[in-house]
Structure 1
Amino acid sequence: MPVIGINLTKIEFEKKGVPPIGGRIEVNLTPKVRDMRLGEIRSPTGRMNGVEILFKYEITYRPEIAEGLIEGAVMYLPQRREDVDRILDTWEVERKVPPEVFAEVINFLTAEISPLLFVIAKEMRLPYHIPLPRVEIKPQG
């Protein structure tokens, strides 16, 4: 797995109102890459260069009952060392993240941040960002 770690630097949530009873609530998760730069990892076998990706993960509710954001950085190690320069050059020139890198990073972030969002939503009495499975009893016919 090319993403080897995450470092959260900011978690901010604000509750703006009470969820409507019985109304539909939409939760939008918007991950964004803020910046990319050369990162370095020290391991027992020596130093390795990778791509440090700074991210911002915005969470919005509709109707506007709450909003939040999570910021931080992930360290991305491509399988080939020469890809580090290619990824960073593309970012510097075009401000674009290669699709395979973006998919890997966003999938990792979603898996890491979702449990945290469940805890925050529970503590703040907000709807979860993903519907939980529910058991329903159906009448026998």
Structure 2
Amino acid sequence: MPILGHNIVRIEVEKVQSGSGKVEVSINPKIEELRLGELQLPTGRVKGIEVIVNYIINYSPEIAKASVRLLVFYVPRVKEDIDKILDEWEEKKQLPGELVAEVVNFTTSELMPLMMMISKEMRIPYPIPLPRVVVRQE
């Protein structure tokens, strides 16, 4: 796996108003910045890319606001790609699809259990829908 670690830098959740009825929730991850990074492991130092990701969770109607900022340490499968990825980001703000998929999938899976717990404590809708059992009448 090309992701060696992550840190949650900031979590902000604010309950704006109480509401009832249908609430729609959208999760918008955005990669904000890439920079060269280095991680100290027992086997030595590893060079990679520090990816800063910001998740914005929108509620409609606006009953709450949430944002989470994470730092992810990403190591491409081919180490020579580090400079190429960083140069492309600096010039065009474009990222390889593999990096985006790995980072967003990893951070979503790490972040959602925490956001579920915070949502429960604040009495706001969960950011992802829970499966529900419906009894059909025939």
- State the TM bucket, normalised to the shorter chain: over 0.9
Partner letter of residue 115 of structure 2? Answer: L
Cα deviation, residue 42, structure 1: 1.2
Deviation at 1:18, TM superposition (A): 0.9
| One-letter identity of the residue aligned with 1:13 | V
Structure 2, unpaired ranges of 5+? none
Question: 1:43-62 residue pairs with structure 2 within 5 A?
Answer: 43-62=41-60
Which ranges of structure 1 fall in alignment gaps of 5 or more residues? none
- CA–CA separation in structure 1 for the residues paired with 2:130 and 2:99: 29
Q: 2: distance between equivalents of 1:43 and 1:128?
A: 36
Shift of 1:55: 1.2
TM-score normalised to the size of structure 1? 0.93
User: 1:72-87 residue pairs with structure 2 within 5 A?
Assistant: 72-87=70-85
Percent identical pairs in the alignment equals 47
After superposing the two structures, state which structure 1 stretch, 130-139 or 41-50, moved more: 130-139
Q: Determine the C-alpha separation between the residues in 2 that align with 1:99 and 1:19.
A: 38
Alpha-carbon displacement from aligned partner over 1:36-94 (angstroms, at most 9, x marks no partner): 00010112222110000011111110000001100120000111110111110111111
Q: Name the Cα RMSD after superposition.
A: 1.1
TM-score using structure 2 length: 0.95
Residue 90 of structure 1 is matched in structure 2 by: 88
For 2:54, the aligned partner's letter is: K
Paired residues in the alignment total: 138
1:19 corresponds to: 19
1:133 maps to 131
Secondary structure of the residue aligned to 1:115 is: helix
CA distance in 2, matches of 1:130, 1:45: 39
List per-residue Cα deviations over 1:95-140 (Å, max 9, x = no partner): 122111001100001101100110111001011122212223334x
Q: Choose 92-101 or 130-139, whichever is displaced more.
A: 130-139
